[in-house]
Amino acid sequence: MPREMRWRTAGILFYLILVLSLMVTQVGQDFIRNLFYSFAKADIYQVVLTILGTGLVLFSSDAIGFMFSTMVLFFWEGKFRPGRGGYSSEWLRRTSYNIKDIIIEQYKNAPKTTKIESLHKIFEKQWETYNPDIFLTFIWQFAPRYIDDWDTRKYSSFFTDLSTITGMFFGLVLSALIIWVWHMGFTLTHLIILLVSLAWIYMLWRNAQYARQEAWQMVDMWIAGFINPRLRKILNTLKKNNDIDSE
């Protein structure tokens, strides 16, 4: 799906669920039925279509899609609990290596090769307090561009699916509240809409988790190839053999 379209699916599905849920209520069905028997139905049709079209244009815009994605990113980044979210938390909890501890430990165990070690004392005291994301980002910058792009696409799919789920969830909740407050009357069709939406949400959730899993596994694989000497040797050999075959 084109990138400019992926962020709009949340707003579009939110709008479709909301409108469809209101249309199939008892009040909505009576309104539609009256349209066919109205003497001024041409004017009414034009007004209704204008309202529906305007709503579709509004909720299919990037602004609405950005609103739903912002909700997802708010919880992902852990804004309500600083230091507990984002990529650093994701990688630290799921990958096999603690990059910060490994770098600091290897640095401490490395032989001193300079007579001006005193210049580094302030840095050596401070860097143990650095956010682990600093170390992860520093290591990740050495990853090849095609690996970085692949990982970015996976996480983008993860966020897109969660944003779409958010839009559908709010569409279901808001339509139910409107119907209940205004006594518009639930029908059997609402149960069908709910079941179809829940099935769709489940599939989106599974796809999001698969994309997320593959993304952090790629990060784990790259870090292992960067740090683990035995794996790095194997990967370099495979790359060398592949270069020879391509020639």
Provide DSSP, 10-59: HHHHHHHHHHHHHHTSHHHHHHHHHHHH-TTHHHHHHHHHHHHHHHHHHH
Express each pLDDT in 13-61 by its tens digit: 999 999 999 999 999 998 888 877 765 556 777 777 788 889 988 898 8
Domains held by the chain: number:
1
Counting as low any pLDDT under 50, the low residues of the chain are: 1-2
pLDDT of residue 2: 47
pLDDT of residue 193: 96
CA 200 vs. chain centroid, Å, equals 16
**Domain that includes residue 124, residue range:** 3-246
pLDDT of residue 247: 55
User: Closest Cα to residue 147, out of 241, 97, 220, 233?
Assistant: 220
Please report, rounded to a whole number, the percentage of residues in the chain having pLDDT higher than 90.
Answer: 39
Report the predicted TM-score, pTM, of the whole model to 2 decimal places. 0.84
